Amino acid sequence: MRLLKTATCNLNQWAMDFDCNLKNIKESIAKAKEAGAVIRLGPELEITGYGCEDHFLELDTVNHAWECLKELLVGDWTDGILCSFGMPVIKGSERYNCQILCMNRKIIMIRPKMWLANDGNYRELRWFTAWKQRDQLVNFQLPKEISEALSQDSVPFGYGYIQFLDTAVAAEICEELFTPIPPHAELALNGVEVFMNASGSHHQLRKLDIRLRAFMGATHTRGGVYMYSNHQGCDGGRLYYDGCASVVVNGDLVAQGSQFSLKDVEVVIAQIDLEAVASLRGSISSFQEQASCKTRVPFVEARYNLCQSFNLKMCLSSPLKIKYHSPEEEIAFGPGCWLWDYLRRSGASGFLLPLSGGADSSCVAAIVGCMCQLVVKEIANGDEQVKADAIRIGQYKDGQYPTDSREFAKRIFYTVFMGSENSSEATKSRAKVLADEIGAWHLDVSIDGVISALLSLFQTVTGKRPQYKVDGGSNSENLGLQNIQARIRMVLAFMFASLLPWVHNKPGFYLVLGSSNVDEALRGYLTKYDCSSADINPIGSISKQDLRTFLRWAATHLGYASLAEIEAAPPTAELEPIRSDYSQLDEVDMGMTYEELSVYGRLRKIFRCGPISMFKNLCYRWGAKLTPQEVADKVKHFFKYYSINRHKMTVLTPSYHAESYSPEDNRFDLRQFLYNARWPYQFRKIDDLVRELDGDRVHLGESSELDKLGDASQGGGGMGVVAAGSGNPNVGL
């Protein structure tokens, strides 16, 4: 037997905080050694943090990474254990994203990334060059200070593997796993048995299965040990890295770390018999045949043994049932952990939320409540870092610390109901009940006096006083009166956030939380600079449908029973007067349902549909119930308001990224914000198609063949593009 003990980890790194990152790296190595592991794998770019972005262009960043690596190597951290560290490296004129493979105070080789992540949220080609020389390892001259400290002048650099006396080990970095021809395929044919994947992979709803299937598929038909390490937490931006460090052997998951956690360091141990890998490969005839005529990959010799022989004291890791969270749990725990990292690292003393009693702001309140529950639970489990952060933020004294989530919420969470004459007693009551269930410090404020003062000022200046539409006013008056309320709420929210701590003799400030969802952002159904404008928004890329499901789940599983009543209430902005014959409803206001918005969003972003392609796809999807003209009207209506309101995305509150059709303008959905909202060319083409279909007297709900396509589209097919709303395609890491 060749028994091997491996350690992979989730690390909560912080971009550009080298002290924090180095501390976590050292702790992970110490835990790996304590467990007896001989391989320790860390996340991609763990020394600098993955989210440094344009800081990677600064020479200081690269130099600091070398300084940290030097500290790791001159100490005893790498004694007796193979460690893979992620950091940027400059070779000649190029900057590479690298894994530094070290052991016994020496660098064995440097492996640059060959295929860079450059779509969705990723822009690696902006900062790094892809390594292109696959046929040889080149010589890399180490920086002078490193060379002198290690008594080592140079090191092999490039694509290859390390041949130990008893096994072969190679790195495969993040995106490389997901390429059409991944490196592990030919590395396996060259005899590599252990693959180390260092990643910087962010959370997205329903995405984990894609990742795990990739690990298992990599070794199912080729054999091998696949180690995966990831960041976990908010490292300084909109993304939450969701950990889930794992080890897979021959297609079976044998070790899995947490996906959502407040821990800064989590080490996952697996104990493996490498003979199982050799046995599987030897039993597959096609593997043997392909290995006999393989393309040779260069390697570095390391005269060390990593494995132990037969030893009953080492229990082998057995296959596990994969742990998946439901989408509702992902909405609770992902943004909850992200908020905790943001709170403890921003210097703020807590959060302030404008709580309307509606679904969206109630979701945000529930997520903060969940965060408080996670903090108390982690402290009870003995996490000293979480305890220290909670004591500092909650301003506990005399040895006290949080033991009750409601008591902790009272210290760090303000909610404010900012009602007007248009607000109902029902929403006011629901906001207060929910705040009490969570434990928040709740305020009930009337903004009518402020609005009246502004209108009086306007009347003094112009001689006119606007009226609501239900009272005979124009559309411009009606919209202006709604915008005044929304923007006053933003101003008051920031005023309360900065001054309420002072009122209660607390130092610091509170972060204002936003609560607009991804569908509202896509349609532009929000006022620019209204109460959705905040410091951060934990639900900004989550759909209304998912949020409603989350409310039902949270009512039971988080213990906030009032959420069930909130979910059942029809969505309304409550910005217009309530009359016996009129009440303002979101979906009526928008001219489309939230379900339709979700479909439009997925087709526009995930399946890259313009107006024409969207019309054709929706003819198949909705053809059984709508005529081509009705479909055309809906598509035109969506694109009209999407383009009119796209400018609002330029000032959208930074939001937790959770959905693959997010319209967020900063980095994920890069499109212009000035459109010709009439879309003359595209809409004319749609009109031509409608006339053609009407001329053929085809009603899409009556043709048997089209009926079949329409039904198929509900499950994920149609016109080769696939209809929206079905499953979650792989849109990158």
Active site residues: 44, 113, 174, 356
Q: Kindly list the distances between the CA atom of residue 233 and the CA atoms of 185, 389, 551, in Å, as whole numbers in the listed order.
A: 31, 15, 24
Print the SS3 string covering 344-365: HHHCCCEEEEECCCCHHHHHHH
- Residues 6 or more apart whose Cβ sits within 8 Å of residue 99: 44, 84, 85, 86, 110, 111, 113, 171, 173, 196, 198
State whether residue 105 is helix, strand or coil.
Answer: coil
- How far is residue 473 from each of residues 196, 391, 577, 580, 588, measured CA to CA in Å? 66, 54, 12, 18, 19
List, in sequence order, the alpha helices (H) in 381-447: 384-394, 405-412, 425-438
Beta-carbon count within 10 A of 292 CB: 8
For residues 686 and 612, what is the distance between their CA atoms, to the nearest angstrom?
6
**Among 270, 246, 258, which residue's Cα sits nearest to residue 37?**
270
C-alpha torsion angle, residues 43, 48, 52, 57 (rounded to 10): -120
139's tokens: 């010589």
Look-up of token digits 């969701």: 242
Give the Cα separation of 106 and 157 in Å (integer): 14
Q: Are 297 and 109 in contact, with CB atoms under 8 Å apart?
A: no
Closest of 250, 221, 414 to residue 317, by C-alpha: 250
Torsion sign, CA atoms 707, 710, 714, 715: positive
**Residue 360 near residue 517 (C-beta atoms within 8 A):** yes
